[in-house]
């Protein structure tokens, strides 16, 4: 499999609810033609890897919005 980094590890404090944040790091990578958003704690513990829909290439601010929705969804589950 050919793997390419689209967005290297980025630290982010994600606002989840009023006065509640989660400190994470994330990266976006591609394996062959499939894109993934990989989320970990700042200590490197895996949280979630999301396969992005086909053809979904976004800018950095859009990945940050997507990251927030992924974390909110995981907390609600």
Sequence ranges of the domains in the chain = 3-76
Angle at 70 between CA 30 and CA 66, to 5 degrees: 65
Whether the Cβ atoms of residue 36 and residue 30 lie closer than 8 Å to each other: yes
Tokens coding 59: 């800018």
Phi, psi of 72 (to 5 degrees): -60, -40
Element (H, E) at 75: helix 60-76
Model confidence pLDDT, tens digit, residues 12-69: 888 777 777 888 899 989 898 888 989 999 999 999 898 887 766 676 677 777 777 7
Model confidence pLDDT, tens digit, residues 54-67: 766 676 677 777 77
R_g of the chain computed on alpha carbons: 12
């Amino acid at each position: 499999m050919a793997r390419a980094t689209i967005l290297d590890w980025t630290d982010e404090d994600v606002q989840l609810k009023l006065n509640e944040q989660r400190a994470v790091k994330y990266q976006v990578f591609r394996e062959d033609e499939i894109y993934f958003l990989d989320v970990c704690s700042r200590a490197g513990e895996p949280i979630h890897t999301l396969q992005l829909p086909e053809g979904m290439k976004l800018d950095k601010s859009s990945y940050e919005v997507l990251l927030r929705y992924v974390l909110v969804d995981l907390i609600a589950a």
